[in-house]
Amino acid sequence: MAKQFVITPSPHLKTKEDIGAIMRAVCLALAPAFIFALYRFGYWSIAVTAIAVVTAVVTEAICQRLRHVPYTVDDYSAVVTGLLLAAVLPPNVAWYVPFVGSIVAIGIAKHCFGGLGCNIWNPALMGRAFLQAAFPTEINSGTWPAAKGESLLTSIYTNINGSFDFLVESAKQVGADVITSATPLEQLTRVVDVAGKVEIPGAIYVQNGVIQVSNSQIFDVFMGNTFGCIGEISALALLLGGIYLLGKKIITWHIPFAYIATVALLGWILPAPYSNGEATAYTAWFTGPWLMHVVGGGLFIGAFFMATDMVTSPMSRLGKLLFGCGCGLLTIVIRIYGGYPEGVCYSILLMNTVVPMIDCWTRPRVYGTAKASCPKH
């Protein structure tokens, strides 16, 4: 019998970068943020992450079993979903929160729509949105470990406002292990006009119709010396991961750039409401604390990891720019005027919804033809 060669369709070269490689790179890019979380919040944050990841992977396998489709857990996409979900949970949540969140994210947001590639919304964010509705107290408890690496609930120090170092110092003085405090963005939404009398070091307040944020406060937030969700707190660690993804060409610059730039621009331009003791007043135009909007909260994880999710973002470059701008606009509107201090989650979910439309508007002009049109189907 003569040797049998293999016939396959062209091309006969294929990139080494398959779905698994992409997802592994995303996991690696998230590593700095989680290492920082371990350092800042202690082992429980990593346990939360592990619960989220394991639940996500197991749910994926079960869903694929039920749907009679081949197992594809080896593509790491469920791992990424678990990691991203954990990243946007507070460090002190109970075990069932990441557990339920992962089941919803994978089981409902991903597999009910047909699995990887068919989901309309980012699964991790859908999980988070579900948790926000299902466990509002757990999600918004606002309690943080006081000492680095501590997480035992013994006594509580409560103060809404103030810089990180001030709060930790104060907690130590009263011998508390846990701090109840607002995240920087919560502080931003609750600003009051203190008429120049600053009692708490590092507090955010309004003076002469302008929100006052100190540079050291911003630097703290950027470095991660602040309160927030497991994977969100260190903008620096996330930036490192984002740069890694950009360098590896896993993501393009369009979405993060458009997103962050829009948030910065609108955060600077738009007047924010505050309380001047009697009624609600508005700060002046073009005076917003845009840097705080950029480094605070979940913007970096949203811009580099969530909005750039391939399945739920537009395909063309122009579409990606539009998508990023839309996310930025919604984020800042929710942050400044909405009921929630953080708008990243909902803005990305809302923009996910309009992705098919964006894809339709931004179809490339086919080579050799006058213009692109959106076909009927």
Partner 1 sequence: MDWKALSIALGSMAGIGAVLGIVLAWGSKRFFVKVDERVEQVEAILPGVNCGACGFPGCSGYAEAIVTSEATMTLCSPGGAECAHDIARIMGAEVEAVEPKYALTACQGGNVPNRFDYSGVHDCRAAVVPGMGGGIKHCTYGCIGYGTCARACPFGAITMNDKQMPVIDEEKCTGCGRCVEVCPRDLNRIDRESRTVFVLCTSHDKGAVTNKICDHGCIACKKCEQECPFDAIHVIDNLAVIDYEKCKLCGKCVDVCPKGVIVNLRKERRARKQARETAAKEATT
Partner 2 sequence: MAFLKTFKGGVHPPDHKQLSKDAAITEAMVPELLTVPMAQHIGKPAQPVVKVTDEVKRGQVIGESQGFVSANVHSPVSGKVKRITECNTPLGTKTQAILIENDGQDTWAEGCNVESNPENLTPKEIRSRIADAGIVGMGGATFPTHVKLSPPEGKTIDTVLLNGVECEPYLTSDYRLMLESPDTIVKGLQLVMRAVNCNNGYIGVEANKPDAFKIMEKTCKELSSSDARLAAVMLEVKYPQGGEKQLIEAVLNREVPSGRLPMDIGALVQNVGSSHAIYQACYLNRPLTERIVAVTGEAVAEPANLLARIGTPIGDLLRHCRFDEEKAVKLICGGPMMGLAHFDLEMPVNKGMSGLLALTDASDWDFRHCIRCGRCVDGCAAHLLPSELSIIGESGRFLDAEEANVMDCIECGACTYVCPARRPIVQWIKLAKQEIMKERLRKAEQAKAV
Work out whether 345 is an interface residue with partner 2 (CB under 8 A): no
Pick the stretch among 28-36, 60-68, 237-245, 362-370 that binds partner 2 (CB under 8 A).
362-370
List b or e across 243-266, with b for residues whose CB sees 16 or more CB atoms inside 10 angstroms.
ebbbeeebbeebbbbbbbbbbbbb
The H-assigned helical ranges of 112-214 are 123-134, 136-139, 164-174, 184-189
Work out whether 8 is an interface residue with partner 1 (CB under 8 A): yes
Q: How many whole angstroms separate alpha carbon 32 and alpha carbon 114?
A: 32
Binding positions for partner 2, 127-156, rule CB under 8 A: none
Least CB distance to partner 1 at residue 3 (A): 9
Q: How many whole angstroms separate alpha carbon 84 and alpha carbon 312?
A: 14
Within 10 angstroms of residue 69's Cβ, the number of other Cβ atoms is: 12
Query: CB under 5 to 8 A by kind: which of partner 2, partner 1, none does 133 bind?
Result: none
Q: How many whole angstroms separate alpha carbon 308 and alpha carbon 139?
A: 24
Least CB distance to partner 2 at residue 71 (A): 12
Least CB distance to partner 1 at residue 38 (A): 44
Least CB distance to partner 1 at residue 11 (A): 12
Pick the stretch among 3-11, 124-132, 290-298, 352-360 that binds partner 1 (CB under 8 A).
3-11
Angle between helices 254-269 and 317-337 (to 10 degrees): 30
Of 31, 39, 47, 72, the one binding partner 2 by CB under 8 A = 72
Pick the stretch among 7-15, 65-73, 122-130, 284-292 that binds partner 1 (CB under 8 A).
7-15
Nearer to partner 1, 117 or 149 (CB): 117
Q: Are 64 and 74 in contact (CB under 8 A)?
A: no
Report the candidate in 331, 190, 337 with the shortest Cα–Cα distance to residue 274.
190
Query: CB under 5 to 8 A by kind: which of partner 1, partner 2, none does 377 bind?
Result: partner 2
For the chain, the C-alpha Rg in angstroms (whole number) is 22
Nearer to partner 2, 23 or 292 (CB): 23
Work out whether 6 is an interface residue with partner 2 (CB under 8 A): yes
Q: Six-digit token pair at 313?
A: 């973002």
Work out whether 3 is an interface residue with partner 2 (CB under 8 A): yes
Q: How many whole angstroms separate alpha carbon 197 and alpha carbon 260?
A: 33
Least CB distance to partner 1 at residue 6 (A): 4
Query: CB under 5 to 8 A by kind: which of partner 2, partner 1, none does 72 bind?
Result: partner 2
One-letter amino acid at 38 equals: L
Number of residues that bind partner 1 (CB under 8 A): 8
116 to 18, 77, 224, 290: CA distances (angstroms): 14, 8, 32, 36
Pick the stretch among 156-164, 230-238, 283-291, 311-319 that binds partner 2 (CB under 8 A).
311-319
Work out whether 27 is an interface residue with partner 2 (CB under 8 A): no
Work out whether 11 is an interface residue with partner 1 (CB under 8 A): no
Residues pairing with 211 in the sheet = 206
In eight-state DSSP terms, residue 151 is -
Q: Are 300 and 238 in contact (CB under 8 A)?
A: yes
Least CB distance to partner 2 at residue 233 (A): 29
Report the candidate in 120, 138, 20 with the shortest Cα–Cα distance to residue 80.
20
Least CB distance to partner 2 at residue 237 (A): 25
Of 316, 338, 340, 361, the one binding partner 2 by CB under 8 A = 316
Work out whether 106 is an interface residue with partner 2 (CB under 8 A): no
Q: How many whole angstroms separate alpha carbon 141 and alpha carbon 157?
A: 13
Least CB distance to partner 2 at residue 76 (A): 12
* CA 63 to chain CA centroid, nearest Å: 26
Work out whether 1 is an interface residue with partner 2 (CB under 8 A): no
Cis amide prior to 11 (ω within 30 degrees) = yes
Binding positions for partner 1, 73-132, rule CB under 8 A: none
Backbone angles phi, psi at 157, to 5 degrees: -110, 130
One-letter amino acid at 186 equals: E
Work out whether 371 is an interface residue with partner 2 (CB under 8 A): no
Using CB under 8 A, list all residues that contact partner 1: 1, 4-10
Using CB under 8 A, list all residues that contact partner 2: 3-15, 17-19, 21-22, 72, 75, 114-118, 310-317, 320, 363-369, 375-377
